[in-house]
Amino acid sequence: MKEIGDSMENQDNKIKVMLATEGTYPHSSGGVSTWCDSLVKNLHDVDYYVYSIIMNPYINQKYELPEEQLLKVPLWGTDEPFEHLKVPFSQVFRARSQTTTQMISDYFVPLFKDIVSEIVSDEKDPVQMGYLLLDMYNYFRKFDYKETFKSEIIWDTFQEIILRKAADPGCKLPQPTVFSMIQSLGWLYRFFTILTTPIPKTDVSHSAAAAFCGVPCVLAKMLYNTPYLLTEHGVFLREQYLSLSKRGYDPYLNTFFIRMIKSIVKLNYAYADQISPVCHYNTRWETKFGVMPRKIKVIHNGVDRKYFDPDKTDPVVRKNRKRDINEPLRVVSIARVDPVKDLVSFIKSAEIIKEKIGNVTFHVYGSVSVQEYYEECKELVSEKGLEGVFIFEGNTDDVAKAYLSGDVIVLSSITEAFPYSVVEAMMLGKAVVATDVGGITEALEGCGVLVPPRKHVMLAEAVTDLLLNEVKRNELGSMARERALELFDLDLSVNKYYESYTELKNRNQAVNLESEKIKRQRLLSEKAYALIDIGKVNEGIKLLKEAIKEKPSSEDVPELASKISEAYMRIGSEKDAENERARAEYIEKVLKETKSA
């Protein structure tokens, strides 16, 4: 493997992409990881380099990746920030020995003051934020991260800024306790660990969220002019707002946390060349935060029609098989056990459905992500007398079989983006009842039944109606499959990403080519001026003409033509001088007209 941060060699003409993730691929399951894996496995003309931000270094991988394609960046669980890197001790020792109080005071404190002020401010300057992070990144290429952040001067500086801002009524920052200031500085220490990790040079950077995993993509753009593609599955800022009530922070920490997240979100939006939410629903948040519509290109999630094919599955669970008269109807939900999936409402609706139909069971396939919520759900199942009727099946290795075992598929979430569970059920031709949140309406579009979130009675009525009407179930299922085949096929989705990579890479190469032409033009003109100054006028004129040919549309061309005219006058060629002067005036006129058009 090449040294981390070196350019990835492109000997096979494949597009090199840094795919940045946070708390997802390849270390956990879920929709974002499914999406990442589909890109990595299906885009054979792309070489992915996965920059994976994880909570601690001891998390097991759920998806296999070659070691040379994966960089793990743990935020917690390490004593030294560089532990995840293969850094020689001599380099560590040199950085640490150079990190004196004087160096920290001279070079880091000014950056630190500006970035803390930016974070706690309600008004954001994402461009400035980008330059501050770049300067910090460059600082940590030379100086030690831990020695810097743990120095007394940093705590004193942080405390002074926070207390001053809290005393300013215009800042609207709640008064902190010493404990909450320590915790908020600890967040900066942990989240900015990513600034110690060298950034690989690739053709395109691609972040899976407008979160901290977007920071390396922003840095790659600033360091190497690497184009940046941002995909938004959920809306990161909205998700953080929803999670605040469960965190138990005091008012200061709530405010600091949300403003920190806002800084990172707006940073990503400002520097991304293309923003591709997985549904149109997400675009309302992006435009609200100032994203220009021209930067937004929706790319829906796609699923594999070959795997989610109702005609190629085990005939025991095939959707059109004849049912035993005594066999219970089945309601299935593919969802992790998490408060955002609102399984409590699903359980409450199951009680009503059971009373109306009798011979029916309910099955939830998915891992437990919040143990306390799982215990709450089990207690509710017991309280409602649904033991053996409402069943938590855990994870399944055959999710298609799980879907097909159900007569109706339910998703009771209070928030979603563009969930795979809905699209997969559609591809399998199943009737879906889901809450009207996020991009679910966009997915179903009349091919399923929508109910408001947290309305368990309405959920029960919709599911009961479908369970009692097999014809309607099958009609909705057929419509759903047709829609999924047309719009949500995996090949269609990943090819749109490939097209985006290609377009961004080519656009960047064109920009770089133009930039190189301008550089060569200016280099030639400087050499020409030097020759003219020492009396080699004809040679200078020749170089100035070559400079014009490098980029005839450059704004410098009228001046270069004027210089040629002056040079001709210097050697007594008045006719040539007049021609060049007229040419300069004409070019300047054309350039002005082009600009105004």
CATH of the domain at 482: 3.40.50.2000
Do 326 and 178 share a structural domain? no
Do 97 and 140 share a structural domain? yes
Do 204 and 143 share a structural domain? yes
Is 513 part of any domain?
no
Do 525 and 446 share a structural domain? no
Dihedral of CA atoms 563, 569, 573, 577 in degrees, nearest 10, equals 50
Identify the pLDDT of residue 573: 86
Is 260 part of any domain?
yes
Q: Are 512 and 221 in contact (CB under 8 A)?
A: no
149 sits in which H/E element: helix 145-149
Is 459 part of any domain?
yes
pLDDT class for 1, splitting at 50, 70, 90? very low
pLDDT class for 13, splitting at 50, 70, 90? confident
pLDDT tens column, 262-291: 999 999 999 999 999 999 999 988 898 889
Is 7 part of any domain?
no
Task: Provide the residue type at 123 as one letter.
Answer: E
The better pLDDT of the pair 166, 531 is held by 166
Do 527 and 484 share a structural domain? no
pLDDT > 60? residue 250: yes
* Cα separation, 424 vs 308, whole angstroms: 7
Do 161 and 65 share a structural domain? yes
pLDDT > 70? residue 321: no
Class of residue 364 by CB neighbours under 10 A (exposed 0-12, middle 13-18, buried 19+): buried
Domains in the chain, number: 3
Is 4 part of any domain?
no
Q: Which two tokens stand for residue 410?
A: 């339910």
Q: Are 414 and 337 in contact (CB under 8 A)?
A: no
Look at 402-406, 438-442, 588-592 and tell me which has the smallest mean pLDDT.
Answer: 588-592
The full length of the chain comes to 597
Arithmetic mean of pLDDT, 100-115: 95
Among residues 546, 534, 408, 543, the alpha carbon closest in space to that of 480 is found at 408
Q: Are 85 and 55 in contact (CB under 8 A)?
A: no
Identify the pLDDT of residue 497: 97
Q: Which of 88-97, 321-330, 368-377 is the most confident on average?
A: 368-377
Look at 82-91, 491-500, 507-516 and tell me which has the smallest mean pLDDT.
Answer: 507-516
Q: Which of 147-161, 226-240, 508-522 is the most confident on average?
A: 147-161
Domain boundary among 254, 272, 295: 295
pLDDT > 90? residue 2: no
Is 549 part of any domain?
yes
Q: What's 168's domain CATH number?
A: 3.40.50
Arithmetic mean of pLDDT, 249-268: 94
3-state secondary structure of 507: helix
Angle between helices 109-120 and 152-167 in degrees, nearest 10: 30
pTM above 0.95, yes or no: no
pLDDT > 80? residue 134: yes
Pairing mode, strands 390-394 and 408-411 = unpaired
Identify the pLDDT of residue 597: 53
Arithmetic mean of pLDDT, 457-485: 97
Do 325 and 181 share a structural domain? no
Q: Are 430 and 453 in contact (CB under 8 A)?
A: no
Do 463 and 586 share a structural domain? no
Is 304 part of any domain?
no
Q: What's 552's domain CATH number?
A: 1.25.40.10
Do 535 and 392 share a structural domain? no
Domain boundary among 265, 295, 325: 295
Do 224 and 86 share a structural domain? yes
Identify the pLDDT of residue 27: 92
Task: Provide the residue type at 163 as one letter.
Answer: L
Q: Are 192 and 137 in contact (CB under 8 A)?
A: no
pLDDT class for 323, splitting at 50, 70, 90? low
- Percent of the chain past pLDDT 90, that is, above it, reads 66
Q: Are 486 and 457 in contact (CB under 8 A)?
A: no
Identify the pLDDT of residue 326: 77
Identify the pLDDT of residue 4: 44
Do 324 and 291 share a structural domain? no
- Residue 472: CA count within 13 A, CB half-sphere: 14
pLDDT > 90? residue 302: yes
Among residues 540, 21, 526, the alpha carbon closest in space to that of 233 is found at 21
* Cα separation, 488 vs 445, whole angstroms: 13
Count of CB atoms within 10 A of residue 549's CB? 11
- The residue range of the domain holding 484 is 310-488
Q: What totals of helices (H) and strands (E) does the chain contain, helices first?
A: 23, 12
Do 438 and 323 share a structural domain? yes
- Residue 199: CA count within 13 A, CB half-sphere: 28
pLDDT > 70? residue 418: yes
Class of residue 352 by CB neighbours under 10 A (exposed 0-12, middle 13-18, buried 19+): middle
- Percent of the chain past pLDDT 70, that is, above it, reads 93
pLDDT tens column, 22-65: 999 999 888 899 999 999 999 999 999 999 999 888 888 999 99
Is 110 part of any domain?
yes
Arithmetic mean of pLDDT, 145-158: 96
- Average pLDDT along the chain: 89
The better pLDDT of the pair 585, 306 is held by 306
